[in-house]
Amino acid sequence: MQGDAFRGHDESSTSLNKGTFREFVDWYKDKVEVVKDAYDNGSKNCQMLSHHIQKDLTKACAEEVMAVVMDEIHDRKFSVLIDESRDVSIKEQMAMILRFVNDEGKVLERFVGIQHIERCTAVALKEALVGMLCSHKLSISILRGQGYDGASNMRGEFNGVQKLIRDENPYAFYVHCFAHQLQLVVVTVSTSTPAIADFFNYVPLIINTVGASCMRKDALLARQHDLLLEKVENGEILTGRGLNQESSLARPGDTRWGSHLKTLLRILVMWEAIIDVLEIVKKDSIKPTCNGGAFGLIGKMESFDFVFIMHLMIELLSITDILSRALQRKDQDIVEAMHLIIGVKESLQDMRDNGWESLFKRVKIFCDKNEIEVPDMEKEVNARGTSARRRQKVTNMHFYQVEIFLAAIDSIMSEMNHRFGEVSSELLVCMASLNPRNSFSNFDVDKLVRLAEIYAEDFDIGEIALLPSQLRSFVGRVRRSQEFFGCTELPQVAEIMVKVGMDKSYPLVYRLIEMTLILPVATASVERVFSAMSIIKTDLRNKMGDEWLNDLMICYVEKEIFRSISNEKIIKRFEEMGKRRIGGSTTGSGGARVPPSAVEPMEPHLSPN
């Protein structure tokens, strides 16, 4: 359950570190005399030390977990979320998660396995996907959604996996991972204008210079600690749980969600400490190159340009960060995600229309506090990035407001419209009519009937004819019912319908809601699987086989299900996996004696959990 290794590096009786399993058994033997007697005086082949037995036990656990997952899915429609990543032994691993709605109306995302991929082509990935589904006796015909991270071989319009799947099943609609699209927006905005691109060129230099050695990092943390104590004593900041904790600088990464905002916030919070450490580097450096580097960075940081762009980017990225965090929720639905995207666009437009004055005021206050010169906004200067000989004059106000502030916001809004253009597709526009906010104010019977027609495999002609009256009756009832008051998310609607029995009264409406809920939004769940893989398959366990890794991953990722399974079920499945020697006799599954050469060593029935 914790992803620990069964076997230790040195399992000899004199070892002081035999590994987690043997150390735990030794500890338990000291507590329970019966177990100690069984191990010390019993048969030497009854100690569960064989790696074959340990793998069989894990396989029995994994199979019981998967039996619960398959029972939850039953014959329901589902979507797949797939991603690929290298493990520590440089093997390409493909992880699969199924998204479906259970009997209680709850949206579930269940991990069903990981598979080694030898060729990362669309055809190979598609074959692996179909193979994993078939291994669990699931048909591609009941697939209703696909979600990938956006890699070219996964989403290619003509030869990608989604195209190959839809050739077999046209109702397996594809949605590009919203979280990855948002990260691409952030990366594009970081290079939207020459001034902002230049700013982000200096940010890694500052972080690298300040954290280039252990001594500099320690000096940074010590200086930040002293500054926090000084501000607490002066009453400038408050103390409390989670407030003003020790932190360090973080590098921005194009593939790490939210890393750009995190980096800039750390620079803002640790501003004085960073300047002090750069001064120490400039003063103590023997090599002129290091001295000059710190000298230039201090001048860059204490310029109005740097401070202005830092505050602007923090405000812009804070708006998108709300959406980024929401998209990583396990129970996020496509309707709410669309609502959040619209909200982000509205916030950006409001900032463009009304945000200049408040931003400039905050920047000016920061500059005054840190003794940074604020330029005269009405003064004419040469246009930045052009030769002085061209004599192109603009005011400072024009440069900061038009060429940076408005240009950055226009760039992010344009990129949002481009990346999330699929939100305007007919399928998602129809689904938006199910948004429960403001008592289903967007409810549109015609669009929902059209949605049923898109899913023609799930609604026959007679059901489509009955759907309008059922939709009108449904929306009238939910607007009157106390249970739905304050309901803002579609998953809540599904759960309430099941709870009060409305899924039986309005089966066609519930089926539409179910189709909407299973459409994937983001691949965050698959990313979490790869985080688990890095815990289980480490440098010390880099020779782990694919089947062994898969079984361990299932038990570790779906530990909530694993915890609920009784030991008796696992023991029974373990016993049914093969003929084993029990005690001193050898018996088959029916109790008949068999030759010792035909059986595996039998191990005692300890609790595998």
**HEC per residue, 34-99:** HHHHHHHHCCCCCCCCCHHHHHHHHHHHHHHHHHHHHHHHCCCCEEEEEEEEECCCCCEEEEEEEE
Counting Cβ atoms within 10 Å, is residue 316 exposed (0-12), middle (13-18) or buried (19+)? buried
Counting Cβ atoms within 10 Å, is residue 137 exposed (0-12), middle (13-18) or buried (19+)? exposed
Whether 587 shows a pLDDT value over 60: the answer reads no
Q: What are the strands of the beta sheet with 78-86, ordered from one edge?
A: 107-116, 92-101, 78-86, 143-148, 173-176
Banded model confidence at residue 386, pLDDT cuts 50, 70, 90: low
Residue with tokens 């980096």: 263
Token pair, residue 379, equals 């003064």
> Do 95 and 536 contact (CB within 8 A), yes or no?
no
Q: What is the pTM of this model?
A: 0.76
Mean pLDDT of 251-271: 74
Tell me 113's DSSP state: E
Cα 193 from chain centre: 30
Find the helix packing angle between 546-557 and 51-73, rounded to 10°: 50
Task: Establish how many alpha carbons lie within 13 A of residue 260's alpha carbon, considering only the half-sphere containing its beta carbon.
Answer: 31
How far from 46 is each of 41, 55, 65, 484, CA to CA, in Å?
11, 15, 26, 58
Q: What is the pLDDT of residues 307-366, one digit of tens each?
A: 999 999 999 988 888 888 877 776 666 777 778 888 888 899 999 999 999 999 999 999
Whether 452 shows a pLDDT value over 60: the answer reads yes
Q: What is the pLDDT of residues 167-194, one digit of tens each?
A: 888 888 887 777 777 777 877 787 778 8
Which of 247 and 488 is assigned the larger pLDDT? Answer: 488
What pLDDT was estimated at residue 471?
A: 92
**Alpha-carbon gap, residue 113 to 91, rounded angstroms:** 15
How do the residues of the chain divide into helix, strand and coil, expressed in percent and rounded to 5?
Answer: 60, 10, 30
Report the share of the chain in percent with pLDDT over 90: 23
**pLDDT, averaged across the chain:** 81
Judged by average pLDDT, the poorest of 311-315, 521-525, 540-544, 583-587 is 583-587
Mean pLDDT of 501-514: 91
Transcribe 297-336 into DSSP letters: HHHHHTSHHHHHHHHHHHHHHHHHHHHHHHHT-TT--HHH
Mean pLDDT of 407-415: 89
Judged by average pLDDT, the poorest of 255-264, 344-353, 565-574 is 255-264
What pLDDT was estimated at residue 603?
A: 44
Report the share of the chain in percent with pLDDT over 70: 85
* CB atoms inside a 10 Å sphere around CB 148: 25
CA-nearest of 75, 46, 82 to 160 is 82
Banded model confidence at residue 240, pLDDT cuts 50, 70, 90: low
Banded model confidence at residue 590, pLDDT cuts 50, 70, 90: very low
> Do 396 and 379 contact (CB within 8 A), yes or no?
yes
Spell out the alpha helix ranges (H) of 211-258.
Answer: 214-233
How far from 354 is each of 223, 346, 357, 400, CA to CA, in Å?
38, 12, 7, 15
What pLDDT was estimated at residue 122?
A: 82
